[in-house]
A = this chain, B = another copy of it.
Amino acid sequence: MFVRNAWYVAATRQEVSDKPLARTLLNEPVVLFLNGQAEICALEDRCCHRGAPLSLGEVTSAGVRCGYHGMEFDRSGRCVDIPGQERIPARAAVRSYPVVAKGDYVWIWMGAADKADAADIVDYPPEGDGWPCANDMLHLKASYIMVLENLMDLSHLSYLHRTSIGSSENDSAKASIDVRRTDRGMRFLRVMRNADAPANWTKRYPTGPKVDRWSDFEYVAPSTIKQYSGGVNAGEYDAGVREGAHLVRTLHAVTPETEKSCFYFFNKADGYARFEPPGTERTWKSTTDVFKEDAFMLEQQQLRMENFDEGRLMDINTDVARVQMIRVLKERLSQEQPSQEMAGAK
């Protein structure tokens, strides 16, 4: 069960070219490409004639020509040429999806086209900040909801990411968490004061052994999280000192492929990297490495949850943000499909 009236990241901008890209999104086969006018096109990847994938066809000026019997479709999905036939019936068409290039991504709207408003796409990265950033993607055999939940309970950093970005268990247990609803989702602020600097930091930042760390996560339903994290020397956070702070922004965009698989796009903008010499690519690589620790856990968790009633699980204190996030997601799902149960969401 998916929220359909929403913008999802379909691909990075680099992925969309004049060579068709086939990708299943929300259980639907989609083909993405630039037509001969360099316009972004997103069509149902299934010709209306015999069901052949248009992604095996050839990009044309208007759109794409099927590689099987040659029907051509423009970017609206309308058939504009049927070889050997003058008349083109009205039903000769495939579904097209609204798409918008914004930030580093191509965003797609899988629901009712008349409800699509590009202004709803999250702003990221903030215009003009000039921070170096890079993105990557992991294709996971896990529900997109599990990925979002992972990001909503940062207590996992002390266990799953102990040797990389994790705080000590003790520091994590003492973290304060404030959660609030927003117009478009919810937001939490998690602060650890006077905590041990994590392993990955001390290799790179001129911090002392003790730091204040904060994580400000904004969930924009159904499937996007904007993260603003930072760290300063212990005692500086409450004093409002941000000079020399370690500041990171990350966009997390999790697009369902099926109920049990998703594309996890992430884009990290590093405020500190402004001051660093070239060679900072290791930062990006280390982000992917950390997220691969999540990936393995999430795929195993997915296997354990199949044929298992989620109602038998229990919430703990650290779930406060996750529980709120699920509530928001349930509301969005029920708005579209009032009669369906959340149980089917995974």
* A305 interface hit (Cβ, 8 Å): yes
A316 CA / B169 CA spacing, docked (Å): 65
Give the total of A residues in contact with B, Cβ under 8 Å. Answer: 53
> Counting chain B CB atoms within 10 Å of each CB, which of A53, A70, A318 scores highest?
A70
A:44-82 near B, CB below 8 Å: 45-46, 48-53, 56-57, 65-71, 82
Q: Are B68 and A317 in contact (CB under 8 A)?
A: no
Q: Which residues of B contact A84 (CB under 8 A)?
A: 155, 172-175, 316-318
A46 CA / B310 CA spacing, docked (Å): 11
Given known A52-B297, A304-B53, contact A71–B313 (CB-CB < 8 A): no
A:12-60 near B, CB below 8 Å: 29, 45-46, 48-53, 56-57
Q: Which residue of B lies closest to A317 (CB)?
A: B85
Given known A48-B314, A51-B304, A304-B29, contact A67–B155 (CB-CB < 8 A): no
Name the segment of A124-132, A156-164, A240-248 touching the other chain: A156-164
A143 CA / B67 CA spacing, docked (Å): 19
* A300 interface hit (Cβ, 8 Å): yes
Identify which of B91, B308, B313 contacts A314 (C-beta below 8 A). B91
Q: CB within 8 Å of B: which residues of A?
A: 29, 45-46, 48-53, 56-57, 65-71, 82-85, 89, 91-92, 149, 153, 155-156, 158-160, 169, 172-175, 296-297, 300-301, 303-305, 308, 310, 312-318
